[in-house]
Structure formats: structure tokens, C-alpha cells
Structure 1
Amino acid sequence: MEKWSTATIREFRQTLLAWYDREGRDLPWRHDQDPYHVWVSEIMLQQTQVQTVIPYYLNFMAMFPTVADLAQAPEEQLLKAWQGLGYYSRARNLQRAARQLVDDYRGKWPQTAAELLDLTGIGPYTAGAIASIAFGEVVPAVDGNAFRVFSRLLLIDADIAKPQTRKLFEQVIQPIVDPQRPGAFNQAIMDLGSSYMTAKNSDPAHSPVRAFDASYRENCVADFPVKTKAPRPRPVPYYGLIVTSPAGYLMVQRDATQMLTGYWTFPLIQQADLQDATDQQPATLQTDIAHLEQRFMTDYQLPITLTPLSGQPVSHTYTHQRWQVKLLVAELSSAADLTFYPGKWVAASTIKTLPLPKVQEKLMTRYQNQGHPAAFKQN
């Protein structure tokens, strides 16, 4: 690992910030240093591209212009505003932290990274970003961009997949952060990591800090950062039930024990949940359908006859799981009583008013493509 002299650090800061002042991205959350704006944008940007986030951010701020508005928002409204961004626990943690700020801090923000860590859903990176941008604390904001930029600049070969590596980077970057403009410094690193020093197709030859880039000098840019591969998401087979009646479609709201808590979907049943320890024969589509029909009759008093929808299962990938949803269709002649079933009938025209996860949108699209082109158009 390279070590910079005080003079080199000073020159690097000047070069980086001069470039940022000329070419830094004009993003809506950079128009001020409001900690609420910084916080919401940084949470949205986790695992999500900037261009995707911008319209969500603008809509979110229109709906919840203050921390107090967010704290008081009905959960269904919050989830609807977040719909499509994924990683839905982020939205709930935002609201939990907003309530902490209102209830425990009387609406006043903690102003240091260490104090910000006490808020739900705020980790070291987000705390560093808020503290430096909104409150001028001289602290690094170490995210994927910072890992990539500084591992290349300084030839840091520590595995960034290991939790302890973050502490190493924080220690290395801390004395480099510009003490006069720490927020601008951290945002400049973000912009550098998303332009000249990207993960793929980087352009170190034209980077404004190429004179400080040891990996470019040593012709080993592609070797950094060092990161062991994460295991592939494991496949999880599901059945998705599209049950219709004159009252609409059968919909369920995911509960607190499930992924996608609070969002509405067609009934989703893991294939593994249908396996009976007493079964001697391997499960087949036909035996699974028989089990489902029996379960709905026995547990919920809902007589349904399921028919497989043609085509491959609908696939949707989460961090550790890849859902593969086989669609089964049932049509009831009357709106069956749902006293014993934890769901409700929803008219096709109002389904899209509910908070829906991306996988549900995929299921609806597949269903529409199988001969129901106007099924879910919102009035």
C-alpha cells in the first residue's frame, strides 16, 4: 500500500475539489445541505442507480417534505412511494428513524457520525455522508465508490468483502479528507467512482486524479478492489395463485414474518411448504396442485380448481434468493367468503393503487401476456 506525504495529500485535495467544482453532478439532493435530503437520497442510492433514484426522490420529497411528515405517514402510503425501488426494509427503517428523530430528539438531528449511528437503518457510510455533507464533520464516507477509488489510488489489496476491511479504509482515508470541505470531498469521491473509476469500463487515463493513481501507473487497475465473490442466490421455487371471482382477484398482504412485509401480492406458496414428510413419492406439479387445492378447502373453506399457466416460471432475484414462481389459475363463479382466509378480493382496476413489489408486477405482466391484456389497467 502506498503512503502519501502531507504535500501529496494537499495536492490531491486541491486537484479533486477543483474538478468537482467544475464537473460535479447536479443532483436534486445537492441543492442544499439539509440532513433530511442527504439522508433520504443516500438510503435510496443503496443498491440503486442515480438515474433511477432521481424521480423517486423528487416524488418522495413532494409526499413527505419533512421528517415529521415521514414519521406520521401511513405505512401503505410510504410503501407505495417506495414501490419499485426494492430492498423494502429501507423504507420502514427510514420511517422508524424519522419517528426516533421526532420522539427522542425533538426533531433535532445528531450532528456527528457516531451519534447518527443510533438512528435505525443508518450505518457507517450513511452516517459519514450525513455528518460530512450536512454538518461539516471531517469524516470519510466509505461506500463502494470509496473502496474502489482508494484501493486503486493506494494499491490497497485488503478484501473489501470482509467487514474488518472497512475500518482499514476509514483509517487510511481519514487524514486525506479535506478539513475545510469534507462534504464536497466525499461527494467528489462518489462522482469519481461513478465516472472515471467505475467498476467496469473505467477511464483512468483521463481521470482528473490520474497523477495520484498507483494502479494506473502500475497498469493493474483491473486488480482493484480485491473482493471475494459472494455466493450465488439460491433458487427458491414458489407457486403463485391467480384466483379470480366476480369480486376481483384474491390478494394477500405480506406479514412481518415474510420478505416484502406490507406489500400486496397474489398468494405465494413455497413448493417446499407443500412437502409432506409422509409422502413416499417425489413431488410433481400434479401432486402439488392437489395439495394446494386440499389446503385451501381444509384450512380456508375455499374450493378452488387450479390450472397451470403456460410458460416458464417467473424469475425474480433478491440478494440471497432467486424466486421462481410457477403461476396457477383458478376462476370462481361467485365471490367466496374469505372469513378464514387472510386476504381480500381486489378489483382489477384498483390493484395498482396498492403497494406492489416488483415480483408482483412481473406476475401481472405474465398473466396479461397470456391473454388478459387489459386486466390491471388503473382507472
Structure 2
Amino acid sequence: MVISTLTHVTFRKLLLAWYASHQRSLPWRFTKDPYKIWLSEIILQQTRVAQGLPYYERFIAKYPSVTALASATEQEVLRLWQGLGYYSRARNLHHCAQTIVAQHNGFFPTSYQALRMLKGIGPYTAAAIAAVAFKEVVAAVDGNVYRVLARIFGLTYDVGTSQGRKQMHQFATLLVDHLQPDTYSQAIMDFGALQCTPASPCCATCIFKNYCIAFYTDRQKVLPVKSNKLHKRIRYFDYFILTYGDVIYMKKRIKSDIWKGMYDFYLLENEQRLVVNQMNDPLFCLAQKHHLPVVTFEKEERHLLTHQKLLVKFHKIEVTSAFLQEANHLFNQFSLVSFNRAEIETLPKPILIQNFLKKLNDCTVFE
């Protein structure tokens, strides 16, 4: 077994020297405002910087302070978040802002432990805020840090388990620079994002090449160890776009799922793909009774979520006034509400729905 000869002091020295020359010029790097640091961390969870930066800038422009964010409605926050996915983050962001205003007079708690008490702020985010904004000596540990430390020091802790993550966190804590924990935290994040990347690490130019266990044992692809693999659940969606004149009927999702608070079309979900005319659904059966034609968009859309794969078909039904009169109670039952083109633009929608509307040339579904 190869053992690393790299000391903690040398690791910090080399890392900080690398960061001085390679740090990314990002807006939240030039502030100690915990609100801006918090916002950037929430947006960048499982989001690349290139994708998240425009969202950060739009949020700061519209909500320049935690008080401004707390004053917004959930629908406004979700609409601005639209396209990033993981919508529970947006809901927690909004709720947390309201808590900070209501319980802390608009000021962020200044310690890791106090930040952890806020809903939506997990161990990594709390540590990042505490280290960068308040210079607390605490390790902010995420996938980047797991990867960097596992490869360089040859750590085989299984980060797919709670015990492995705990061990990795304990090791990471020993490395934090006590004089500049803020700079250190940002340095190790950038090193993982730019140098020690997941698929193709830049080993030839790496400052740790003479020390890295993964490099010497050719284990870049197996470190860090992560045993649990995600098994995606397959769900079959059939969306029905009910139109009448220049309006379309949509509904707000109220169940506690990832799209809670978002708007989509009338949905039928099944364990397998069903033939349209075999669907036993009261609204669809009523459409058949009125002899309303169903136009099916041939392409099946595939939408990947963290634990799920959605196989989606879209169908369009142009309804009549006679149908609407008879279906009124069903529309109320299913919370279907009519919106015109301009109103739909303001609604928060899953990116799946937004992309479908875009593909129809600026909502030509109304035509």
C-alpha cells in the first residue's frame, strides 16, 4: 500500500499558492456578505457555475438583500428559479429568508452551529458561510472535497455511507487553515472544480503530482469510493393540453413533491405507457363523449431527475363550450384554471413544461 508523504502544512501551502494564481473571478468571491455567499452556495448545489451564475445575478438584481427575498411571494421565487431544478431548494431558500428576517432581525447567525438550525441550510452550506463570511475554522465538505482528498491522500472511506462521510469530514477538518479558513475553503473548491475534476483530472500539471496516491497508483477513476448507486424509478406521464380559444388550462401542483408550487397541464400517470383511447379517466371520457379529437405529439420526451426518469407524451385537446359546461365540476375537482399566453409566462413551471412550450414556437399550442 502506498502511503502519502504529504504533510498537512505542505498541503495547505501548495493549495493556497495554486489558488493565488488560479482562483475564479466570481462575484461572491469579492464579498463577506453572508446573504450573497449563502445564495451562491444554494444555487450552485448540483449546478455548474456557468449555469448558476446568471441565476445568481438575476436574484441579486431582484432581491439584493435577505429582507427583499423574504418579502417576495413563493411563486415569484419559483419563477425566478425556473430551470435550475431541485425546486425544494428554492422553497427552502424563501422560507429561510423569512425566518432570518422574523427571528434574527434580518441578520445571519455568525456561527456554524447557529446556521445549522435554519431550515434548508445543511452541514456543507453552514460551513461555507461560517468559514467564508465569518472566518470560523470549520471544514466545508462536498463532492469536490471528497474527490480531492481521497485522490491525493489515497483515502478509501466510502462516501456513499454516513460513516464514510463522517470519516472524510474528520480528515478534512484537520486540514483547514486556522489563519485563513475563508481563503482555504474557496481554494479547495476551485481546485476540485478546475484541476482535480471528476472525469479528466489535469494530473500532468497538478501541484500535488509528486504526492498524489491516486496518480501513482492509477486510481483516479475509483477514488473517492462510493458504494451506493442511484436506481432511477421510471414513471410514465401523459399530459393533456386543454385549450379553448386563446387560453390553456393548467393546474398548480400542491402535493409535497419536487414540483410543489409549480404549474403544469392535466396529467395522467401510469405504470406503463397506455394507448390514449384506452384511458379510463373521467375528463378524457367526457372529451370522447363530445367527440373531441386528441392530437398526440409523436415524440416521447425523456426527463431525468435525481432518482427518477420520466417518459412523457403530450396530447392536445381543443375543447368546446358544451364540453366546458359539462366539465366545470371536473375542472374544479382537478384545480384546472384557464390562463392566457401572457399569464402563463409569469407562472413558475417545471423545465419540462417550459421546454415543451418553447418547442412550440412561443406557445403556438394556442393556434
* TM-score, structure 1 normalization: 0.87
Structure 2, unpaired ranges of 5+: none
Q: Residues 239 and 206 from structure 1, CA distance in 2 versus in 1: closer, same or farther, beyond 3 angstroms?
A: same
Note if 1:343 corresponds to 2:331.
no
Cα drift, residue 306 of structure 1: 5.1
Specify whether residues 107 and 240 from structure 1 end up closer, same or farther in structure 2 by C-alpha distance, changes over 3 A only: same
Question: Out of 288, 294, 301, which is 2:285 matched to?
Answer: 294
* 1:69 equivalent in structure 2: 68
Q: Deviations over 1:181-240 (max 9, x none)?
A: 111111111111111111101112211232332221333222211112523312100110
Aligned partners of 1:139 and 1:104: how far apart in 2? 25
Indicate conservation of the 8 Å contact 1:12/1:212, yes or no: no
Letter in 1 for 2:214: S
How many correspondences in the alignment?
360
- Name the structure 2 match of 1:375: 363
Classify the secondary structure of the residue corresponding to 1:326: strand
Q: How does 1:83-232 map to 2 (within 5 A)?
A: 83-232=82-231
Question: What is the match of residue 252 of structure 1?
Answer: 251
Deviations 1:90-122 (A, max 9, x none): 011011111111112222222221221111111
**In 1, are the aligned partners of 2:82 and 2:351 still within 8 Å (CA)?**
yes
In 2, are the aligned partners of 1:25 and 1:191 still within 8 Å (CA)?
A: yes
> Contact 1:29 / 1:41 at 8 angstroms: preserved in 2?
yes
Does the Cα contact within 8 Å between 2:246 and 2:341 map onto a contact in 1?
no
Q: Structure 1's 99 and 70: CA in aligned 2 closer, same or farther, altered over 3 A?
A: same
Structure 2 match to 1:317: 304
The 8 Å contact of residues 234 and 322 in structure 1, kept in 2 or not, is answered as: yes
The one-letter code sitting in structure 2 at the alignment partner of 1:132 is A
CA distance in 2, matches of 1:141, 1:296: 55
Give the TM-score of the pair, scaled to structure 2: 0.90
Counterpart position of 2:345: 352
In structure 2, relative to structure 1, the CA distance for the partners of 1:108 and 1:331 (3 Å cut) is: same
Residue 362 (structure 1) aligned to one of 340, 355, 358: 355
Could you tell me which runs of 5 or more consecutive residues in structure 1 were left unpaired when the two chains were aligned: 276-281
Contact 2:295 2:317 in 1 (8 A): no
Confirm or deny: 8 A CA contact 2:3 2:213 kept in the other structure.
Answer: no
Q: Secondary structure at the match of 2:221?
A: helix
Q: Is the 8 A contact 1:348 1:376 kept in 2?
A: no
**In structure 2, what is the Cα distance between the partners aligned to 1:67 and 1:51?**
24
SS in 1 for 2:7: helix
Shift of 1:154: 1.0
Q: Please give the per-residue CA displacement for 1:328-367, whole angstroms capped at 9, x wherever unaligned.
A: 221123393546521211113432221111110233245x
Residue 8 of structure 1 and its aligned partner are, at CA, apart by: 2.2
Query: Which moved further from structure 2: 257-266 or 34-43?
Result: 257-266
RMSD over aligned Cα, in angstroms?
2.6
Q: Is this contact kept in 1: 2:235–2:308, CA < 8 A?
A: yes
In the other structure, the counterpart of 2:29 is 30
Structure-1 separation of matches of 2:290 and 2:67: 47
The one of 282, 285, 292 aligned to 2:276: 285
2:279 match: secondary structure: helix
Q: Percent identical across equivalent pairs? A: 34
Contact persistence 1:148–1:193 (CA under 8 A): yes
Residue 210 of structure 1 aligns to a residue whose secondary structure is coil
Distance 1:296 1:61, change over 3 A: farther
Residue 75 to residue 290, structure 1, CA distance change in 2 (3 Å): closer
Please state if 1:305 is matched with 2:312.
no
- For residues 285-315 of structure 1, the C-alpha deviation after alignment (integer angstroms, 9 at most, x for no partner) is 3211666523779xxxx96735241413222
The alignment partner of 2:210 has SS state of helix
Provide closer, same or farther for how the CA distance between residues 176 and 194 of structure 1 changes in structure 2, counting only shifts above 3 A. same
Matches within 5 A, 1:237-248: 237-248=236-247
Task: Determine helix, strand or coil for the equivalent of 1:212.
Answer: coil
